[in-house]
Amino acid sequence: MKSRSWFVTLVLLTTALMGSSFAIAKIALDYVSPFLLLGIRFTLAGLLMALFTRHLPRPRTLGDWMRILLIGLFQTVGVMGSIFLSLRTITASESSILTFVNPLLVVIFATLFMRAHYRVVQWGGVILGFLGVFLTLGLQLHLHVGTWLGLLGAVFWAVATLMIKQWRHRFNIWVLTAYQMLFGGIILLIGGLFIERPVFIVDKTSIFIVLWLAVMASIVQFSIWFYLLQHGDPGKTSAFLFLAPFFGVLSGWILLGEPITWQVFVGGIFIFAGIFLVNWPEPVHVRTTVNRTQ
């Protein structure tokens, strides 16, 4: 990262886009069926991004293209598909809680499979942040099929985060962003033909919403997010995802008129405290030499 202020600015922008996309997507579902919306959103975003990055170096081997496809399967198809399927049996708030468990899973998976080491204070920060998300979204969580799908979405996101971190040096970050969205979008578009009955009411509102989700909530959001993962520790960076549901509640209030309760403010304090602890700097041990005079 060039500077801490630049890092914070990018984090706030990408998490605000992530959080607000829940409310905007809820509006969009009045015009477009879920998987058709996802397919159009990410296929369009991938095509635009591929056009924008056409002069940048692309992968030269089939293996690297397969890695991008795999990231797209986890990050775009797995995460977004799980979220929308979970919404059939649980609320958007519950789905958000489960999806944004993924920072805790990143720390766990990185510890188990990548030999990463996190201190007790960082583990405490992740747990505190999750409690903040849970509190912010109402202290309500029930076990349904959608509950497990929501958790599965969090697992997909955590795995994708670590894959991006592991393979970050193999790709140009903008090319990776473009083609993982394109591959994921095409798969979602095809899947929509078998999962649901496609519906698309075309008017100015629906077109604007789809373009917003494709450009701002996909291209801009994913580009910033992958950039942050590429240049920072995955566990610490993922901790900032706790901000996304907080922004989601705020955007729901602004765009949909959903009420904001006291839990939002208390949960916000927990979220910021958790982020602070996860990013607590390593202690500096200063060795002192005592000069003894004879």
Is residue 157 included in any domain, yes or no?
yes
What's the pLDDT at 291?
45
Band of pLDDT at residue 141, cut at 50, 70 and 90:
low
% the chain with pLDDT above 90: 17
pLDDT at 69 over 90: yes
Query: What's the total number of domains in the chain?
Result: 1
Helix (H) or strand (E) holding 43: helix 34-52
Q: Is residue 284 part of a domain?
A: no
Rounded CA-CA distance 268/49 in Å is 34
* Token code pair at residue 92: 């958007």
Confirm if 103 and 241 have CB atoms less than 8 A apart.
Answer: yes
Does 268 reside within a domain? yes
3-state secondary structure of 200: strand
* Residue type at position 242: F
Most confidently modeled of 10-14, 88-92, 101-105, 240-244? 10-14
User: With pLDDT > 70 as the criterion, what percentage of the chain qualifies?
Assistant: 87
93 alpha carbon, distance to own chain's centre = 15
Q: In this structure, is residue 288 part of a structural domain?
A: no
pLDDT value, residue 61: 92
Within-domain flag for 179: yes
Say which residues have a Cβ less than 8 Å from residue 137's Cβ, sequence separation at least 6: 93, 94, 96, 97, 245, 249, 263, 267
Question: Taking 90 as the threshold, does the pLDDT of residue 271 lie above it?
Answer: no
Give me the amino acid identity at 125. G
Say if 291 falls within a structural domain. Answer: no
Per the structure block, which two tokens stand in for 292? Answer: 């003894």
* Residue ranges making up the domain that contains 134: 4-278
Residue 225 is encoded by which pair of tokens? 């997010």
pTM over 0.95: no
